[in-house]
Structure 1
Amino acid sequence: MSRRRGLPFSSVVTALAGFILLWFTVPGIGPAVRAARADGVSGVFTARELVCVQHPGHESCTWTGDFLAASGTARERVSLYGSDRETMLAGATTPAVDIGRTYWVYGPGGSNEWVFTGLLLLLGAGLLGYSAFAARGVVRPSTPA
């Protein structure tokens, strides 16, 4: 009589991690592509306040302000993606694009955030694929000697 083993715990954890990554990443594909292409409503961003966060050995800043679309629609308290301390001064304006994100507008050149989204997608799919192969016995998780 053959004894069938259940799925190894590591395969279940790996599959769960892959699923969670995909769960959080897939909804961001559309916005990441729109941001990369600067595909949205054109307008002007006016810098109002520089918001900075201190990390050990590093400071991360972004400009928050108002966005005025070419159609006249205004949005307040949005941040310009990719801005930092040196890119603007309070009261300065720059062309921007509203792609529909709640708190962000983008420069007319778009953004590179699609790279991170793509890497997370690959990692999530890779974890799911690995766990599927491990469950079928194609890949055997290494065991410590």
Structure 2
Amino acid sequence: MRPSTARVGAFDLVIAAGGLILLLLAVQNLGPALAAFRGDGAWGTFTAHRVECVQHPGHEQCTWLGEFRAGRTVRPEVAFYGGERGSFTPGQAARAFDTGRRGHVYGPGGSNEWIAVALLMLAGLGLASRPLWRLRRARRPAGEPGAGPRTDAGPRTDTEPPTDTDP
């Protein structure tokens, strides 16, 4: 039997490029997400200044903005991750840590952002490897399980039913 042949098409390349972009985004956020999960970072004090809320169908998403101080470092206008409308009052201070993520600090409970980052990474790997699946499948001989479509155009002679003219 002759191995079937297949090419990687433009669609597969676009899907793979999208997967690489997802993978790049995941890798960029992996360090800060794991640090937030573990509670690693510079500990300091977050002082709430104001709350900003957005209404969505069925729920409200709020973020407290304020100032974070750790030693001599002062970060104005940062968001406190996971803060709800009733979490603070203006001027209230809370213990927090900074992982280096731009615009966010975290409370003592950290975050579970690593789950979304891990799922993003898996999706990126899966999509980026799509052309490899097609090439691997195409290299199997026709007729083997998992092989691509049959390459011969004629009917299979070993499964034809007998006719009235057969002896």
> Is TM > 0.5 for Structure 1 vs Structure 2?
yes
Range class of TM-score, shorter chain: 0.7 to 0.9
What residue is the counterpart of 2:43 in the other structure? Answer: 42
Please state how far the C-alpha of 1:5 moved relative to its aligned partner.
Answer: 4.7
2: distance between equivalents of 1:17 and 1:120?
Answer: 12
Percent of pairs with identical residues: 43
Greater Cα radius of gyration, structure 1 or 2: 2
Residue number in structure 2 paired with 1:92: 92
TM-score by length of 1: 0.84
CA contact (8 A) 2:6 2:135 kept: no
Q: TM-score, normalised by structure 2?
A: 0.74
Alignment map for 1:82-121 (pairs within 5 Å): 82-121=82-121
Distance 1:28 1:140 in 2: 38
Instruction: State whether residues 40 and 98 of structure 1, in contact with CA within 8 Å, keep that contact through their aligned partners in structure 2.
Output: yes
Q: What letter matches 1:63 in structure 2?
A: W
Ranges in structure 2 where 5+ consecutive residues have no aligned partner: 139-145, 149-167
Worse overlay, 27-36 or 5-14:
5-14
Q: 1:127 to 1:91 in 2, by over 3 A?
A: same
Counterpart Cα distance in 2 of 1:63 and 1:47: 6
Counterpart residue type for residue 17 of structure 2:
L
Could you list the runs of 5+ residues in structure 1 that have no partner in the other structure? none
Task: Give the secondary structure class of the aligned counterpart of 1:63.
Answer: strand
- Which structure 1 residue ranges, 4+ long, deviate > 4 Å from structure 2? 2-5, 138-141
- Over 3 Å counting, the alpha-carbon distance change for 1:9 and 1:135 in structure 2 is farther
Contact 1:21–1:120 under 8 Å retained in 2: yes
Paired position in structure 2 for 1:52: 53
Cα shift readout 1:68-117 (whole Å, capped 9, x = no counterpart):
11x23221111101111121121111100011122111112211000000
